[in-house]
Structures are given as C-alpha cells and as structure tokens.
C-alpha cells in the first residue's frame, strides 16, 4: 500500500491501472480530461499494457469499449456531462449487450448555459439505461469503487456495465491523500476477466441480434433480474475487498448516526462529507439527526432504505440536480421506495449545489432545521435561500 | 364488429388491401381500423395485416387472434403459415386460388371460399405473372362472401385511393365479387382453442444467437422455381457463383442442384446461365 | 466440373431474410468466401440487420456483432483493440455498413477509424438509399433517382443533388487499401478481397449492390444490372494501393448510360436531356479516373 496525494481523476486513472484494463478509449472533456491523460502516461511508460484508442467523439469512445468487451476484453473509459449525453444511445447498447464496462463519469452541469461545475443532471438523465451507478464521496472511494465495480460488473450473476461518478472539481480536481493498494493485492481481489457470452472468432454466433415482440421482453426481464441481484453481490464484493485491502465503503446505502434519529438526511457524492460534519456538530448539541449516503443509485437500494426508514419520521433528500419532476430525482426515488413501507416517513426534497454551487455547512444545518421544525414536506431550492428567495414547486 | 386478418407475401399488397377495405367500409358509413403486423418486411416474406369494421369506433388496439374472416392472397402460404389460426366457427377462409373451395383444408365449421384472383388480376393487366397485384380482386370476393363492405363502397374506395390503373382495379374488384365461390359452414362447431403464447426464452449466457438460419425455410417466398435441364448443363458454375441465397450446391458428379428449402426464386441463375439450361417454372 | 474461380467455402447460411435477388446478400457471401472463417463482422442498423435473421438464429458462419447505425467505424476499432489486447491471431475485422450508415450518419466514425489507422476492413455496401426503412434517399443516392423522399411529381424529378463521393472522402485519409467491388464480377471481387485481407491497416471497400425492390427492376436482373453499371462507367472498378490507383476492369468503349438507366424504374421519369447530363458526368468522371491512373503509374516509375 502506498499513500499518494491524488486528484479524484487520478484516482480513476490509478484504478484503471490496477484493474489492468486491456482496452481504454479516450476523448477529452472538462473536467474529465486528466483521467485519460494520466492513463496515456501509464501506457506510454509501459506500466499499463492496454490498447489505448484515441477516438473522435464520446459516442465512439463508448462504442470502442462495447465492441472490445464483446470480445472479452476488460475495458475502461471516462466522460462527463455533454459527453455522457452524447453516449446515451450507446449506454443502452452496453447494458443490452451485457458488457461489463466500467466508466468514470465526472458529474458536471449540462448546457445551456455552459457550466462546468458539479451537478448530477448528466448521470441522473441516464439512470434508466441499465447501468449500475455509484456516486463517490472521496478520492479514496473513487479508487476503491472502480475496483469493486469491475468485480461487480463482471460477476456471472450481474454482467452489466457500471459507472463510477465523482463531483466535478470537488473531487475531480481536488487532491487529497489516497491509499493506492499494491498491484498484487488488487490482482488477488480482481483476477483477469472471465469472459461469459463473448464472441469467438470462427464461431457462428451473433451478439446483439433482433427479435420480435414474442421474445424482446425476455431480454429486458433478464437485465431486470441481473439488476436485482446487484445489492447482494455488492455485499460479497465489499466483504472480499475489505479482506484483501482492509477497507469497506458500507455497501449500497451506508448510514451515519441514524440510531434514534428524528431526522435523516440522504446525500449523494461530496455533499455527504460536509453533511457528516454537521451531523456531528448537531449531535454534540443534543439534536437527534443522522445521515445516509446513496452510494448506489442504480439499482436503487430500496430494501436498505425501507430498513433505515423504520425508525425515522422525517427524511430529507439532497439532490444536486433538478430534472423537472415533482421533486429532485433522488427524492422521487426515495419517496417511491417508501410509499409501500409500513412506516412511511415524510420526504422533503432539497435541491442544493446545482451547477457547481457549494453545499455549505450552513445550508445543511438549515436543511436539518427544516426537517426538525415539522414544516410540511416540500421542495426547497436551497441554493436560492441565501438570496432570500424560497421557491416552492408543486 | 367484424375482424378480418389478411395473409400475403411482401410486395403482394396485403397491407394495402387491408387499408383499402378500411377506406371502403368508411365510405359505407362504418368505423374501420386497419394496421399491419411489422415483422420482416421483405419481398416474398409472409406478411400479416388486420382490419376491423364496426358501427361504432373500434375499442381495441390489439392484433386479431380470433378473426371472423381470413383472407389469403397467396395459396402458397397455406402450406407454411398457420393462416386459419383462431378462425371462428362459421367464419370465412377466403383464398386466392384457382381451385374450388372444396380443396381447402380448414378448421371445423369454417366456411371455405376461393376466388381465382391471380387470373382476374392478369386479365386486367394488374402486375406480372411473377408478381400479380391481386388485392382488388380479392377484396371484391371478400365483399361478396362476408358483406363487410358493399361492392359500391369498394368501387368508390378504389377510385379514390388506388393511384395506378383505377379502372382496371375497379373491374378486378367486380370480377372478384362475381367470381367467388363460398361453401356453407357450421356455426355450432366448437370454437378453436386460443393460440398459445410463445414460451419464455431460456436465454443462454447473454444475447448470443447461434442457431443456423437454415432452420428457417424460405421456400414459401417463391412464386417461380428454377429447374435445371442437366442434359445441357456445362457445369460452368455461374448459377452457383451468383446465387444470393446460397441455394445451389453440387452433386457428386459436379452438376448444380437447387436447395429448394432456401431458393427464393429470384431467377438470377436462369438469367445468368450461359447455355440457358435453367427454366423458371411457376409454383403449383 | 469446371474449376471454381472463387473459393468454394460458404460462410453464409441459406434461410436468410434478404429479398429475392438481393445484391447485399450476394456481396456478403462473396466477401466471406475471400476472408475465411476467422472473421468478425460488425453490422450496424441496415438491411443486413434483418437479413441475418432473428434471435436465436444467425445467417453467417462467422462471429457477428450488432452496432448502432452511426458507429461502425468505432466498433471495428474496438474489435481490433480487443483482438490485439487478447492476442487473437490472424483475425479479419470487418465493418459491414450500408450507404446511409456510411455516407451519412456513420461518416464521422468512418473518418475516425481511417484516421487512427485501425487495422480493419470497412465495407460500404451501396444500394443507394435507405432500403431497410423502405427506399428513402441517402447521400449516396444518385442524381435524378426516385425514392420515397425524393418523389417524382410536377417539377420534382427525383433526387436533385448528386451522389456523395465517399471514395474521395476515404482516399483523403490515405487508407492502406481502397477498392470498388461489384458482385457481378466475382473474380475481380475476390481478388480484391484476398489482396486486402493480407494488407495491414485501414482498408475500404465500396461495393455496388443492386436492390430490386428499391431500384424497381426484376430480381433476375441483379447481375445483369451490376454488369451494366460497370460497363457504362457508372460504377468503374478500381483499387488504390498506397495511394496509387489502378483500374481493374478496362472497358474500351463505355456502353451508353441510357442502357443502365432505362433498366430501372427509379429512373423511368428521366428526360432525354437528363440522360444526356448524366452521360456527360459519367464520361468526365471516367476520363478523370483514367487520367489519375496514368499519373499514378508515371509516379510509380
């Protein structure tokens, strides 16, 4: 194990190196670019024996790894924002092909107006494409989750692509200490990909195909079943990762001080770190508040959420995006998952950190105050509250 | 409500026939609905279309599984497609065929009907022997056999919606109307069992297809069959070389022979054969 | 039996779902004869998506990957990268795309594949319109041709724009090998495939594939029409190796282009003046091609 001070982007690059990715496709976009630059260095220096394919668009970047995965290669690529949106059609291709691609995504706002700040609109609008989605909180979690994502994606019970996301600049360009595990340790945790359902030269096979209404549903259902197995497989992957590397990231929905909590805030990505500090501060002054991190958004960990919600009356969900639904997208999912729960807490939607705004301790404090005050559950544009504007939607 | 299912082959106009029937019914003051089944739309490949006619707006948006009438534009389909599936007792099976309806095999109770629409179409210069345009003649026969539309409505629809050769098509509809033979059925016959849904696929590890397409036969696409007169064959291989369907192989003596399960009857082999030893013969 | 002039091996099954007399079906059959079984074919949305038959069947005896309509160039780059990474020996990587998927929506990925020097063969099988969707014009549809989106009515007389010069675009990328192929000339076709097979680098085939329903001609005439296309100079046969062009079928005197046009319903509406215009264009293109061949030949010495 070597401790290095790394950016979140380099944490992705190191993870691709440790995973011994065999085919990497590269197309630049701010704030992702330094990931593929670093991988280019790894390949140039001989540290990584990979085919490094420089493509002419993100669309082609994803097609290259889909086709490479179809032959059995372990693949990596990375993108952000507009690039991810350009990939949209091919995201469906990847899951439909059951291609265990791992992709780094830097969460960045979507134009217009152009904005390169942190925002989850890009990945939220890809939530229905059959990809596993992880949201990371720290550069360490980025590195570890990429490695875990390969195990998960390639697992025979899963075989689906996975994206590991990190907030633009708050992680992508933030340097902080990261433990980089020894390659030998990672090799034990993550052996070479065992190809399932791949094309073999000389065999009369077709991957992709077309089918009429009589059987298309079978393909969709099979992906659904694989998705449903992800939380269970993730548990075993975490256990094995902890055994090999000595760290765990708490599975799909790690929680913090939620026992006896009157109000729990659910966060994604980097706002979690700030929120955790606020929980400590409020707990020190006797307020009963807790925190849960939506680390896995697809598949949505609804069982874990219902377990968490059993003893909680008020839940707030912090969304770093607005997707024109009744609430923030994560809040909508949380509400849907809790609707059938026997104990159904109220869900308040907080939109915060949109387009690169800070999610400050003051904002988080105010969110907890809102929850604890018993105010009716609704949607709060937290970013605008400092300017004295409260927008209530719906 | 009357439900009619059309069976034809790509290029024959089954979909057009179904739509034209809908237009005719509308001119009769009825509420029609017509739609095709979107499958492999290839010239010669089996095609299905559906038409419903009611006095009120049709309240269903599903394919037709228990039709009152089935119209078969090409008798070759009888051998390969389950055209009569779900046909109601006392329903009508109408086939474009030169044979009398007694020759048709149909489920119990079904009224059998036939019309030589190919002869009528060719007599009115509609299409070619390779691809006769039979839909107006067949619709005329259907109008008579079922009463689902009037001949007058059909004639008006032909005039308004058939851009090519409207007069010939009008005459073909009339001749179809006059030329159809219908046998009585039996309304008390038991209803056919509902068609079974396809079983769910047990998918292999991922969406990999690996079954040879030679399990699919395309013989039914054919209206003409190549017959090789081996006495004049020079074994030049041209027929083999140019076959787009991989439907020509060699026998032990090196003579070409047609793999009839896969030949679609395109006629390239006959056209390219230097000594002209291949003859395209109309399917029975 | 006379000696076969093209390989005996069949790597395409019968039972496929091509229309009778399908040019693209014959093109695939001839292509795979020359390439052999260790071939991976990436196929975008096009006629061949359907020709290859529905799951769980497949119409080819080689491995086939489906890809999105616009990404064939990228798909074969990915297949080559994986083949190299996995140490797969002697594998032909082929993209097999229609003219719409190449000249229009797939042009970017094709350019990318050529520019990054992917060791693969990109095939554009050219039936000169979007045929799988039912005959809509593409960038490769020739001037004057009827399609469902370039109707003939009143002043409208088919496609008002000329055919896109995809070969010219490809040659601007300096591919390792590029050639025009026509299934009506199977020996020339096969020679080019076998030659390209053994060349390393980006290779491009422009294959002429008549479409009976789309061009409105009798399915028995697919080969005859293909022969006419080359013999009239509409689709000359040539190859470009390392930048040097060589015409592979010399036609002393071009046949009148009217013979080719009048054999197809899609050109039925053309006036004698239209035909004269097309004839002049074909002649000047042919002369330019011959001039280029002479220049390349003199450079070689």
Domain boundaries of chain A, sorted by first residue: 2-196+206-245, 255-385
Does the CB of C149 have a partner CB in chain A at under 8 Å? Answer: no
CA dist B247 and C20 (Å) reads 11
Q: How would you classify the pairing of strands B69-72 and B2-9?
A: parallel
Question: Contact B209/A209, CB-based, under 8 Å?
Answer: yes
Task: Tell me which of 3.40.640.10, 3.40.50.920, 3.90.1150.10, 3.30.70.2700 is the CATH number of domain A255-385.
Answer: 3.40.50.920
Q: Quote the minimal CA–CA distance from C202 to chain A in Å.
A: 14
3-state secondary structure of A65: helix
B211: closest chain C residue by CA: C57
Q: How confident is the model at residue A386 (pLDDT cuts 50, 70, 90)?
A: low
Taking residue A360's Cβ as centre, other Cβ atoms within 10 Å add up to: 16
The mean per-residue pLDDT over the stretch A295-314 comes to 95
Class of domain B2-182: alpha beta
Q: What domain range is C38 assigned to?
A: 23-300
Does the CB of C4 have a partner CB in chain B at under 8 Å? Answer: yes
Residue C13 placed within a domain: no
Residues A55-89: tens digit of each pLDDT: 999 999 999 999 999 999 999 999 999 999 999 99
Tally A–C CB contacts below 8 A.
157
CB-based contacts of B52, cutoff 8 Å, min separation 6? B1, B2, B3, B4, B32, B33, B34, B58, B60, B64
CA dist B160 and C226 (Å) reads 39
Residues C32-45: tens digit of each pLDDT: 999 999 999 999 99
Residue C86 placed within a domain: yes
* Chain A residues with beta carbon closer than 8 angstroms to that of B200: 218
Residue of C65 and B163 predicted with greater confidence:
C65
* Chain C residues with beta carbon closer than 8 angstroms to that of B280: 220
Domain ranges for chain B, please list them: 2-182, 214-282
Residues B184-210: tens digit of each pLDDT: 988 888 887 776 776 766 766 567 999
Residue C4 placed within a domain: no
pLDDT of residue B108: 87
pLDDT of residue C301: 60
Q: What is the CATH number of the domain that holds C275?
A: 3.40.50.970
pLDDT of residue B40: 64
- Does domain A2-196+206-245 sit in CATH 3.40.50.970? yes
Q: Quote the minimal CA–CA distance from A70 to chain C in Å.
A: 8
Handedness of CA B70, B74, B80, B81 (dihedral sign): negative
B242: closest chain C residue by CA: C26
The mean per-residue pLDDT over the stretch A350-378 comes to 94
Of C20, C26, C213, the CB nearest to B242: C26
Burial call A37-62: b when 16+ CB within 10 Å, e when fewer: ebbbebbeeeebebbbbbbbbbbbbb
Is A255-385 the same fold as A2-196+206-245? Answer: yes
Residue C9 placed within a domain: no
pLDDT of residue C298: 87
Which of C12, C17, C20 best tests the B interface by mutation, with the highest count of B CBs <10 A?
Answer: C20
CA distances from A290 to A273, A375, B63 (A): 13, 18, 54
Of A196, A212, A219, the CB nearest to B39: A212
Number of structural domains, chain C? Answer: 1
| pLDDT tops 50 at residue A393 | no
Of A204, A214, A219, the CB nearest to B207: A219
Mean pLDDT of chain A: 95
**Is the CB of residue C193 less than 8 Å from the CB of residue C96?**
no
| pLDDT tops 50 at residue A394 | no
Helix H or strand E encompassing C25: helix C23-35
Question: Contact C1/B250, CB-based, under 8 Å?
Answer: yes
The mean per-residue pLDDT over the stretch A267-292 comes to 98
The per-residue pLDDT string of chain C (301 residues; one tens digit each, 9 = 90 and over) reads 568 999 999 999 999 999 999 999 999 999 999 999 999 999 999 999 999 999 999 999 999 999 999 999 999 999 999 999 999 989 999 999 999 999 999 999 999 999 999 999 999 999 999 999 999 999 999 999 999 999 999 999 999 999 999 999 999 999 999 999 999 999 999 999 999 999 999 999 999 999 999 999 999 999 999 999 999 999 999 999 989 999 999 978 999 999 999 999 999 999 999 999 999 999 999 999 999 999 998 886 6
CA dist A248 and A6 (Å) reads 19
Question: Contact A207/B201, CB-based, under 8 Å?
Answer: no
Residue of B76 and C23 predicted with greater confidence:
C23
| C window 252-281, beta carbon within 8 A of B | none
Question: Contact C86/A206, CB-based, under 8 Å?
Answer: no
B63: closest chain A residue by CA: A213
CA dist B65 and B85 (Å) reads 7
**Is the CB of residue C243 less than 8 Å from the CB of residue B73?**
no
Residue showing tokens 């020509």? B248
Choose from B33-42, B72-81, B258-267 the range with maximum mean pLDDT: B258-267
Interface of B with A (CB under 8 A): 39, 197-198, 200-201, 203-210, 212
* Chain B residues with beta carbon closer than 8 angstroms to that of A204: 210, 212
**Is the CB of residue B52 less than 8 Å from the CB of residue B2?**
yes
Q: How would you classify the pairing of strands A255-256 and A206-207?
A: unpaired
Q: How confident is the model at residue B282 (pLDDT cuts 50, 70, 90)?
A: confident
Does the CB of C70 have a partner CB in chain A at under 8 Å? Answer: yes
Percentages of chain A per state (helix, strand, coil), in multiples of 5: 40, 20, 40
Mean pLDDT of chain B: 91
SS3 per residue for chain B = CEEEEEEEEECCCHHHHHHHHHHHHHHCCCEEEEEECCCCCCECCEEEEEEEEECCCCCCCCCCCCCCEEEECCCCHHHHCCCCCCCCCCCEEEEECCCCHHHCCCCCCCEEEEECHHHHHHHCCCECCCCECCHHHHHHHHHHHHCCCCHHHHHHHHHHHCCCCHHHHHHHHHHHHHHCEECCCCCCCCCCCCCCCCCCCCCCCCCEECEEHHHCCCHHHCCEEEEECHHHCCCCCHHHHHCCCCCEEECCCCCEEECCCCCCCCCHHHHHCCCCCEEEEECC
pLDDT of residue B206: 66
Q: What is the DSSP letter of C267?
A: G
CATH code given to domain B214-282 = 3.30.70.20
pTM: 0.94
pLDDT of residue B80: 82
| pLDDT tops 70 at residue A282 | yes
Residue C180 placed within a domain: yes
Q: Quote the minimal CA–CA distance from B211 to chain A in Å.
A: 8
**Is the CB of residue A318 less than 8 Å from the CB of residue A350?**
yes
């Amino acid at each position: 194990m070597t401790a290095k001070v790394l950016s979140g982007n380099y944490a992705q690059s190191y993870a691709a190196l440790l995973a011994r990715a065999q085919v990497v496709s590269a197309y630049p976009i701010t704030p992702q670019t330094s990931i593929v630059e670093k991988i280019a260095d790894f390949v140039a220096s001989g540290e990584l024996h990979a085919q490094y394919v420089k493509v002419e668009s993100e669309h082609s970047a994803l097609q290259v790894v889909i086709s490479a995965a179809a032959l059995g290669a372990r693949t990596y690529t990375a993108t952000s924002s507009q690039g991810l949106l350009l990939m949209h059609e091919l995201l469906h291709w990847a899951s439909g092909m059951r291609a265990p691609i791992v992709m780094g995504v830097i969460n960045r706002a979507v134009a217009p107006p152009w904005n390169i700040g942190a925002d989850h609109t890009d990945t939220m609008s890809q939530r229905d494409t059959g990809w596993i989605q992880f949201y990371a909180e720290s550069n360490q979690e980025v590195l570890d989750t990429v490695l875990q994502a390969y195990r998960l994606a390639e697992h025979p019970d899963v075989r689906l692509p996975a994206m590991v996301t990190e907030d633009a600049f708050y992680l992508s360009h933030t340097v902080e200490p990261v433990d980089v595990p020894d390659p030998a340790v990672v090799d034990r945790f993550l052996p070479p990909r065992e190809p399932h359902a791949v094309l073999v030269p000389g065999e009369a096979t077709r991957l992709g195909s077309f089918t009429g209404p009589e059987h298309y549903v079978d393909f969709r259902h099979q992906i659904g079943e694989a998705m449903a197995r992800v939380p269970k497989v993730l548990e075993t992957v975490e256990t094995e990762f902890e055994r090999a590397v000595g760290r765990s990231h708490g599975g799909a929905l790690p929680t913090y001080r939620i026992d006896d909590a009157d109000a729990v805030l659910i966060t994604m990505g980097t706002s979690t770190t700030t929120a955790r500090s606020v929980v400590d501060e409020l707990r020190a002054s006797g307020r009963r508040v807790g925190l849960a991190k939506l680390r896995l958004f697809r598949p949505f960990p609804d069982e874990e959420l219902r377990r968490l919600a059993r003893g909680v009356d008020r839940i707030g969900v912090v969304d770093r995006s607005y997707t024109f639904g009744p609430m923030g997208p994560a809040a909508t999912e949380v509400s849907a998952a809790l609707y059938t729960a026997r104990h159904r807490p109220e869900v308040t939607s907080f939109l915060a950190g949109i387009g690169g705004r800070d999610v400050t301790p003051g904002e988080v404090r105010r969110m907890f105050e809102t929850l604890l005050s018993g105010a009716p559950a609704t949607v709060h544009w937290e970013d605008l509250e400092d300017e004295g504007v409260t927008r209530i939607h719906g | 409500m009357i439900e009619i299912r059309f069976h034809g082959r790509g290029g024959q106009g089954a979909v057009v026939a179904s739509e034209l029937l809908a237009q005719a019914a509308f001119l009769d003051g009825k509420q029609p609905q017509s739609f095709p089944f979107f499958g492999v739309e290839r010239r010669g490949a089996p095609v299905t279309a559906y038409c419903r006619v009611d006095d009120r707006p049709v309240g269903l948006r599903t394919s037709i599984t228990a039709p009152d009438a089935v119209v078969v534009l090409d008798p070759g389909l009888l051998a390969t497609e389950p055209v009569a599936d779900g046909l109601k007792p006392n329903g009508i099976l109408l086939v474009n065929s030169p044979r009398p309806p007694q020759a048709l095999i149909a489920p119990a109770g079904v009224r059998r009907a036939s019309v030589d629409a190919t002869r009528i179409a060719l007599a009115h210069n509609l299409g070619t022997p390779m691809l006769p345009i039979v839909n107006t003649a067949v619709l005329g026969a259907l109008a008579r056999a079922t009463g689902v539309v009037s001949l007058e409505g059909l004639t008006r629809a032909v005039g308004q919606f058939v851009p090519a050769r409207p007069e010939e098509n009008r005459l073909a509809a009339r001749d179809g109307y006059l030329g159809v033979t219908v046998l009585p059925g039996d309304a008390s016959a038991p209803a056919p069992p509902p068609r079974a849904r396809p079983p769910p696929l047990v998918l292999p590890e991922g969406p990999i297809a690996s079954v040879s397409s030679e399990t699919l036969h395309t013989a039914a696409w054919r209206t003409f069959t190549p017959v090789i007169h081996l006495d004049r064959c020079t074994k030049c291989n041209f027929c083999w070389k140019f076959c787009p369907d991989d439907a020509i192989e060699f026998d032990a003596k090196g003579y070409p022979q047609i793999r009839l399960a896969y030949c679609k009857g395109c006629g390239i082999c006959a056209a390219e054969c230097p000594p002209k030893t291949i003859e395209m013969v109309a399917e029975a | 039996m006379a000696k076969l002039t093209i390989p005996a091996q069949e790597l395409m099954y019968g039972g496929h779902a091509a229309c009778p007399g399908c040019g693209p079906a014959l093109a695939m059959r001839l292509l795979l004869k020359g390439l052999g079984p260790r071939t991976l074919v990436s196929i975008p949305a096009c006629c061949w998506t359907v020709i290859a038959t529905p799951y769980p069947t497949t119409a080819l005896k080689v491995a086939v990957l489906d890809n999105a309509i616009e990404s064939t160039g990228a798909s074969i780059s990915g297949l080559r990268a994986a083949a190299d990474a996995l140490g797969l020996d002697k594998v032909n990587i082929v993209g097999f795309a229609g003219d719409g998927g190449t000249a229009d929506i797939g042009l970017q990925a094709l350019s990318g594949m050529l520019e990054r020097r992917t060791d693969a063969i990109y095939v554009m099988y050219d039936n000169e319109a979007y045929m799988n969707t039912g005959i809509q014009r593409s960038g490769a549809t020739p001037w004057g041709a009827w399609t469902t989106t370039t109707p003939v009515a009143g002043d409208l007389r088919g496609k008002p724009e000329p055919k896109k010069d995809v070969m010219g675009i490809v040659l601007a990328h300096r591919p390792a090998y590029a050639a025009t192929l026509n299934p009506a000339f199977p020996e020339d076709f096969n020679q080019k495939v076998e030659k390209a097979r053994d060349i390393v680098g980006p290779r491009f085939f422009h294959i002429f594939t008549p479409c009976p329903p789309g061009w409105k001609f009798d399915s028995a005439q697919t080969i005859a029409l293909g022969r006419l296309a080359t013999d009239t100079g509409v689709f000359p046969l040539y190859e470009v190796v390392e930048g040097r062009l060589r015409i592979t079928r010399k036609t002393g005197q071009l046949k009148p282009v009217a013979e080719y046009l009048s054999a197809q319903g899609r050109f039925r509406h053309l006036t004698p003046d239209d035909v004269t215009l097309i004839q002049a264009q074909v002649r000047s293109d042919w002369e330019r091609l011959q001039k280029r061949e002479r220049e390349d030949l003199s450079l070689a010495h």
